């Protein structure tokens, strides 16, 4: 009982921390987006990534709170289908958006003479069709959950999830293999693009550092804004790779060697929530997002008050 209480506290803390962090990132980048002279595609992608991560935490956090408060009747068949679908779709969208973020950032810092430079988005609004594609793609991949998920309140004799609020009913082997193949193909394509773009950024980053060091060897060395942005994206991708591949490796090893499925479910859940929880912390810490934003808003408020007093 005590261990279960500690587990619930940890997941609750992660959910609240991650949701607040993603809301902060979204709000601050929205302020930068609307208040800045230039609409940067990276800011729009980060807003979308924070939104997808928020949905992951929300769809996982609400059922946990309901189960903890013993309000399982709230989770009827329709709510179960919505929440479980939202979990899978939002996680897939997060993977796709992370890949897009890495690729676009690599294109932005690529040399002007490079052919990749011609792929640079001319406007931030050119990014929006990618978002629609990500949601449609992942919704199609997860469409089988509409039929395989039902509420625990229906008392159907099937396999229950580890959270004990929704049933995962048995599916045909054909359906399982089709869905699994589509998920593996999606992850392979987008993570392959993410890995190639990350490697390209590392090479460009080293080249830029070497050139800037030669040019400023006797001056105070400062990293340009575009390189700081590239560093933040690379840290974000390292965070993603750690949680994603640890989840995959751990799930494979545990499913083969460990009989206690509840332990596996809890650790998997931590890994699933890990990227959504800690990615906004990486952005806030690396970019100094909150101090810069509040400093800019304080300056605007000061100018407004000074102009008002003069009138």
Backbone angles phi, psi at 76, to 5 degrees: -80, -175
pLDDT averaged over every residue in the chain: 76
Report the percent of the chain where pLDDT is more than 90. Answer: 19
The distance from CA 191 to its chain's CA centroid, rounded to whole angstroms, is: 13
Residue with tokens 């359906």: 175
- Range 2-310 classified under CATH 1.20.1070.10: yes
d(CA 31, CA 296): 10
Residue 223, both tokens: 């990293």
d(CA 273, CA 267): 10
The pLDDT tens digits for 95-122 are 999 999 999 988 888 877 677 777 777 7
Cβ pair 290, 24 in contact under 8 A: yes
What is residue 102's predicted lDDT score, i.e. its pLDDT?
A: 92
Number of other residues whose CB lies within 10 A of the CB of residue 109: 21
What is residue 159's predicted lDDT score, i.e. its pLDDT?
A: 42
67-71, 114-118, 135-139, 273-277, range with greatest mean pLDDT: 135-139
What is residue 306's predicted lDDT score, i.e. its pLDDT?
A: 55
d(CA 293, CA 38): 16
What is residue 161's predicted lDDT score, i.e. its pLDDT?
A: 45
Let me know the angle formed at the C-alpha of 191 by 272 and 106, rounded to the nearest 5 degrees: 115
Let me know the angle formed at the C-alpha of 86 by 80 and 89, rounded to the nearest 5 degrees: 140
Beta bridge partners of 166: 151
Number of other residues whose CB lies within 10 A of the CB of residue 216: 11
DSSP 115: G
Confidence of residue 134 (pLDDT cuts 50, 70, 90): very high
Q: Which residues contact 81 (CB under 8 A, 6 or more apart)?
A: 145, 146, 149, 150
More confident call, 303 vs 253: 253
More confident call, 47 vs 203: 47
- Average pLDDT, stretch 23-42? 80
d(CA 275, CA 242): 9
Residue 292, both tokens: 């810069």
Q: Which of 107, 15, 12 has its CA nearest to residue 53? A: 15
pLDDT of 162 over the 60 cut: no
d(CA 222, CA 206): 14
Helices (H) and strands (E) in the chain, counts: 9, 3
Cβ pair 153, 72 in contact under 8 A: yes
Q: Is the pTM higher than 0.85?
A: no
pLDDT of 290 over the 60 cut: no
Backbone angles phi, psi at 36, to 5 degrees: -85, 160
- Average pLDDT, stretch 217-221? 47
Confidence of residue 145 (pLDDT cuts 50, 70, 90): confident
Sheet strands (E) in the chain = 149-151, 159-160, 166-168
Establish how many alpha carbons lie within 13 A of residue 35's alpha carbon, considering only the half-sphere containing its beta carbon: 12
Residue with tokens 């100018």: 303
- Average pLDDT, stretch 70-81? 70
The pLDDT tens digits for 190-207 are 999 999 988 888 887 776
The pLDDT tens digits for 228-281 are 777 788 888 888 888 888 888 777 776 666 555 566 667 777 888 889 898 888
What is residue 101's predicted lDDT score, i.e. its pLDDT?
A: 92
Confidence of residue 220 (pLDDT cuts 50, 70, 90): very low
pLDDT of 185 over the 70 cut: yes
Domain residue extents for the chain: 2-310
What is residue 307's predicted lDDT score, i.e. its pLDDT?
A: 54
More confident call, 137 vs 37: 137
Which H or E run contains 201?
Answer: helix 173-215
Residue 173, both tokens: 């082997």
């Amino acid at each position: 009982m005590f261990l279960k209480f500690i587990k619930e506290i940890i997941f609750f803390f992660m959910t609240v921390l991650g949701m607040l962090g993603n809301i902060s990132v979204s709000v601050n980048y929205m302020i930068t987006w609307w208040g800045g002279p230039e609409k940067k595609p990276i800011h729009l992608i980060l807003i979308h990534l924070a939104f997808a991560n928020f949905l992951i935490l929300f769809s996982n956090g609400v059922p946990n709170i309901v189960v903890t408060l013993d309000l399982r009747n709230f989770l009827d068949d329709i709510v179960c289908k919505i929440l479980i679908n939202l979990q899978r779709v939002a996680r897939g969208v997060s993977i796709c958006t992370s890949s897009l973020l890495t690729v676009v950032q690599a294109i932005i810092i690529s040399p002007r003479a490079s052919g990749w430079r011609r792929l640079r988005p001319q406007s931030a609004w050119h990014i929006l069709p990618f978002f629609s594609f990500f949601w449609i793609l992942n919704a199609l991949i997860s469409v089988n959950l509409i039929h395989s998920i039902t509420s625990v309140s229906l008392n159907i004799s099937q396999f229950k999830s580890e959270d004990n609020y929704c049933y995962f009913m048995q599916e045909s082997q054909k359906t399982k293999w089709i869905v699994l193949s589509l998920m593996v193909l999606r992850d392979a394509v987008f993570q392959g693009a993410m890995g190639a773009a990350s490697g390209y950024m590392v090479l460009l980053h080293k080249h830029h550092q070497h050139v800037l060091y030669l040019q400023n060897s006797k001056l105070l060395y400062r990293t340009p804004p575009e390189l700081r942005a590239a560093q933040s994206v690379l840290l974000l991708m390292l965070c993603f790779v750690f949680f994603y591949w640890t989840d995959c490796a751990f799930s494979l090893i545990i499913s083969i060697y460990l009989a206690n499925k509840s332990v596996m479910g809890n650790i998997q859940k931590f890994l699933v929530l890990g990227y959504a929880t800690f990615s906004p912390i990486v952005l806030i810490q690396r970019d100094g997002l909150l101090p810069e934003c509040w400093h800019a808003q304080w300056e605007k408020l000061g100018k407004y008050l000074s102009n008002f007093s003069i009138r």
